Chain A
Amino acid sequence: MLNWLRLSGRYLFEHLEAVFNVSFGDRYNPFYYLGSLAFFFFWIVAVSGLYLYAFFETSMLGAYSSIEYLTVDQWYLGGVFRSLHRYASDAMVITMGLHMLRELVMDRYRGVRWFSWFTGIPLIWLVYASGIGGYWLVWDQMAQYIAVMTSEWLDWLPIINEPMARNFINQASLSDRFFSLLAFLHIGIPLMLLLVMWIHIQRLSNPRTNPPRVLMVGSILAMLVLSLIKPAVSQAPANLDLSVSTIDIDWFYLFVYPLMEKTSAGTLWILASAISLFLALLPWMPPLLRKPAVVVNLDNCNGCERCYEDCPYSAITMEPRSDGLDFEKQAMVQDSMCISCGLCVGACPTATPFRRKTDLIPGIELPDHPLKALREAIIEQTATLEGDQRVLLMGCDYGVNLDKVALPGVVAIKLPCVAALPPSFLDFVISRKHADGVLLTGCHAGDCHERFGIEWLEQRLAGKRDPMLRKRVPRERIVTFWAGEEGGRKLLAEVSRFQQDLAVLGPYTPPQSDVRRRASGTEESA
């Protein structure tokens, strides 16, 4: 059931994102940056909030009029800040909600990823508490509605002795001190929110808390335009002597209140707690995701730190050497943090298929994807190919389903992630003529399931990250193609284009090299 829901959700997202890919491209698609966009909106809310706070008066009469002053008299600055404050808050709720849904359907919430998922649940509560508090401060009719509903909701809990609702019986019962408390909460809760946001990303290495610049500029501009066209305004001032009848509400934040009106405070409590509990427990609902963590092989580890640098989940630490060899450090894996992506294997300098004297066991390895088996699979499967357009297709589980690719002159091998392939395997395949070209395929360019797989691989191929693909390997024989699960047809076109290129290139010849020139046989003629 859960699986079916996840797959259909994923199908919907993939199609929706495909539309965005047309205009944004697959490196700047906002759907790939929902979490970092939520962070960005938080900062806009924080900065605009600081400005608003400078003018805000914490009293029953002053609250409304000070905000009216900002909105009407100082519309060009205070008004714009108020609108930004509001629209960025709405944007934060939207991006947060989509982010959660997307991580769920893309299956990035289970297994060792439970931590980010779990810490995301209190974030929802804190975002809502912050937003609702903000609307309350305006002290217009919507605020009055919030005040009455919220206190009714909180009063349902048996923990508060004196009913909070008593404050809102009539104008005389509300004190200015209550507004000081509200303002204090409206700063304190967002600070707590920030703290939990920080905890939320603790298990990631290089967490992306800033979206690409083009998305930041774009969303700020969009919100500025919206602020000028449709500024955020207050409703009529609150008056506790009159009861609020019909009002417009911000549905992003306040949808729970009409629900409570239709049911009861108790129902809302039960519903909110049950949903939160259900979400919090999701990572441990079957089917459980358990993949064996990578294992360090000390005989092949000299503590060079490359795996440590490339791990997307900070699962590797460098610890003092434990086997008495003359090395300072060794890699250590924290199993509970390892998502088994294999990016570390792709980074290990001892992970090279040219090893023959000792067994091909790299310094760090995935137990269920041994490199030795990969080398054998490459040799065996490519042996069936003929001609001079032989293509070895390699890809992950999150791209085009390679099982379905059946093309003449092509064999496909699956990897946990494309970056789990050490670049020297590419050198091996080409120079030992196991294939004429290698095509690597996987997720969408901006949306690697293992966070940095595509980025690291591209940098390694371009000689910008260790281990670099050797310069002697002809680049025109290595092609990358990022298209996610839906790119099947395009992949077929890409393969046939690649095969045509390979036919033009002809068979591989080793590079001209000083080594050859220096060799005694040719030195005389040179």
Chain B
Amino acid sequence: MSLIDWHEEYSVGIASVDHEHREMINLINAVYDNLSSNASKDQIEAFLGEIYTKISAHFALEEKIMKAKAYDEYEGHKEDHERLLDEIRDIMDFYETDDYFSDKDLADQLERWFSEHFRTRDARLHKHLG
């Protein structure tokens, strides 16, 4: 079972952005699968590092596209990106250092982290640029 499923309505209509969104969903699902199969903490951490890298690059690309298209809510969207990057780093650090931060916490936080931005900010971006 996967944590997040790709739906066609997620598409923002820009091939590169959609491609990376799919990659991101696959990565998060891979973490979830690994968690379910009791993978080592080290393996999970390696996946989190990968998510951080991919999402950093993805946001950079999305920001470039928004700027190029003079998207009206660029500032707010960008702020949200920065907040999300801080948050994924928090998730990484807590998972690594905090014994109370369980595997279930990690799965919940990741799902929440990904979906919130996706449902609000990116959905609006889709309406305006798609």
Interface residue? B63 (CB, 8 A)? yes
| Neighbour of A304 across the interface among B19, B61, B91, B94, CB < 8 A | B61
Shortest distance from the beta carbon of A459 to any chain B beta carbon, whole Å: 14
Interface residue? B47 (CB, 8 A)? yes
B-facing mask of A343-359, CB < 8 A → 1, else 0?
00000011010111110
Shortest distance from the beta carbon of A298 to any chain B beta carbon, whole Å: 13
Q: How many residues of B contact A (CB 8 A)?
A: 41
- Say yes or no: B64 contacts A304, CB within 8 Å: yes
Shortest distance from the beta carbon of A469 to any chain B beta carbon, whole Å: 11
Q: What chain B residues lie within 8 Å of A511 (beta carbons)?
A: 90
Interface residue? A510 (CB, 8 A)? yes
- Say yes or no: A518 contacts B109, CB within 8 Å: yes
B-facing mask of A481-521, CB < 8 A → 1, else 0?
00000000000000000000000000000110111101111
| Neighbour of A467 across the interface among B49, B60, B91, B94, CB < 8 A | B60
Closest residue of B by beta carbon distance from A363: B57
Q: What chain B residues lie within 8 Å of A328 (beta carbons)?
A: 15-16
- Say yes or no: A520 contacts B89, CB within 8 Å: no
| Neighbour of A325 across the interface among B19, B56, B94, B112, CB < 8 A | B19
A-facing mask of B79-120, CB < 8 A → 1, else 0?
000100111011111100110111011001100100000000
- Say yes or no: B63 contacts A327, CB within 8 Å: no
Shortest distance from the beta carbon of B126 to any chain A beta carbon, whole Å: 16
Shortest distance from the beta carbon of A218 to any chain B beta carbon, whole Å: 37
- Say yes or no: B57 contacts A515, CB within 8 Å: no
- Say yes or no: B90 contacts A472, CB within 8 Å: yes
**For B20, B56, B108, which residue has the most chain A Cβ atoms within 10 angstroms?**
B56
Interface residue? B75 (CB, 8 A)? no
Interface residue? A177 (CB, 8 A)? no
Q: What chain A residues lie within 8 Å of B104 (beta carbons)?
A: 520
Q: What chain A residues lie within 8 Å of B109 (beta carbons)?
A: 515, 518-519
| Neighbour of A515 across the interface among B46, B48, B50, B90, CB < 8 A | B90
- Say yes or no: B53 contacts A326, CB within 8 Å: no
- Say yes or no: B86 contacts A471, CB within 8 Å: yes
- Say yes or no: A302 contacts B105, CB within 8 Å: no
| Neighbour of B100 across the interface among A306, A363, A513, A522, CB < 8 A | A522
| Neighbour of B87 across the interface among A356, A510, A514, CB < 8 A | A514
Q: What chain B residues lie within 8 Å of A466 (beta carbons)?
A: 60, 63
Q: What chain B residues lie within 8 Å of A467 (beta carbons)?
A: 56, 60
Q: What chain A residues lie within 8 Å of B77 (beta carbons)?
A: none
Shortest distance from the beta carbon of B76 to any chain A beta carbon, whole Å: 16
Interface residue? A103 (CB, 8 A)? no
Q: What chain A residues lie within 8 Å of B52 (beta carbons)?
A: 352, 354-355
How many of chain A's residues touch chain B, expressed as a range?
35 or more
- Say yes or no: B49 contacts A354, CB within 8 Å: yes
Q: Which secondary structure characterizes the binding site on chain B?
A: helix
Shortest distance from the beta carbon of A119 to any chain B beta carbon, whole Å: 33
For the A-B complex, the count of residue pairs with Cβ-Cβ distances under 8 Å equals 120
* Given the contacts A470-B89, A519-B94, A519-B109, A357 and B57 also touching, CB distance less than 8 Å: no
Would you list which residues of chain B between 37 and 52 have a CB under 8 Å from chain A? 45-50, 52
CA distance A318 to B112 in the complex (A): 35
Interface residue? B59 (CB, 8 A)? yes
CA distance A516 to B49 in the complex (A): 19
CA distance A427 to B82 in the complex (A): 14
Closest residue of A by beta carbon distance from B19: A326
* Given the contacts A302-B61, A510-B97, A520-B105, A327 and B19 also touching, CB distance less than 8 Å: yes
Interface residue? A204 (CB, 8 A)? no
CA distance A467 to B113 in the complex (A): 20
CA distance A111 to B119 in the complex (A): 51
- Say yes or no: A468 contacts B82, CB within 8 Å: yes
B-facing mask of A363-376, CB < 8 A → 1, else 0?
10000000000000
- Say yes or no: A521 contacts B102, CB within 8 Å: yes
- Say yes or no: B93 contacts A431, CB within 8 Å: yes
Interface residue? A305 (CB, 8 A)? yes
**For A304, A355, A363, which residue has the most chain B Cβ atoms within 10 angstroms?**
A304
* Given the contacts A326-B19, A522-B100, A513 and B64 also touching, CB distance less than 8 Å: no
| Neighbour of B90 across the interface among A349, A358, A516, A521, CB < 8 A | A516
Shortest distance from the beta carbon of B10 to any chain A beta carbon, whole Å: 15
Interface residue? B18 (CB, 8 A)? yes
Interface residue? A300 (CB, 8 A)? yes
**For A306, A357, A472, A520, which residue has the most chain B Cβ atoms within 10 angstroms?**
A357
Shortest distance from the beta carbon of B28 to any chain A beta carbon, whole Å: 13
CA distance A424 to B93 in the complex (A): 14
Q: What chain A residues lie within 8 Å of B102 (beta carbons)?
A: 519-521
| Neighbour of B16 across the interface among A326, A463, A472, A521, CB < 8 A | A326
CA distance A357 to B90 in the complex (A): 19
Interface residue? A303 (CB, 8 A)? yes
**For A325, A349, A516, which residue has the most chain B Cβ atoms within 10 angstroms?**
A349
- Say yes or no: A516 contacts B82, CB within 8 Å: no
CA distance A332 to B20 in the complex (A): 21
- Say yes or no: A354 contacts B53, CB within 8 Å: yes
| Neighbour of A521 across the interface among B19, B50, B86, B100, CB < 8 A | B100
Q: What chain B residues lie within 8 Å of A515 (beta carbons)?
A: 87, 90-91, 94, 109
- Say yes or no: A510 contacts B94, CB within 8 Å: yes
Q: What chain A residues lie within 8 Å of B92 (beta carbons)?
A: 354
Chain A contact residues, CB within 8 Å of chain B? 300, 302-306, 325-328, 349-350, 352, 354-358, 363, 424, 427, 431, 463, 466-468, 470-472, 510-511, 513-516, 518-522
Beyond contacts A354-B53, A515-B91: 6 other A-B pairs, Cβ-Cβ < 8 A, are A302-B57, A355-B52, A466-B60, A510-B93, A519-B101, A520-B102
A selection of 20 A-B contacts at a CB cut-off of 8 Å is A304-B57, A326-B15, A349-B57, A349-B60, A352-B52, A354-B52, A355-B53, A356-B46, A358-B50, A424-B56, A431-B89, A463-B82, A468-B82, A470-B85, A472-B86, A510-B94, A511-B90, A516-B98, A520-B104, A521-B102
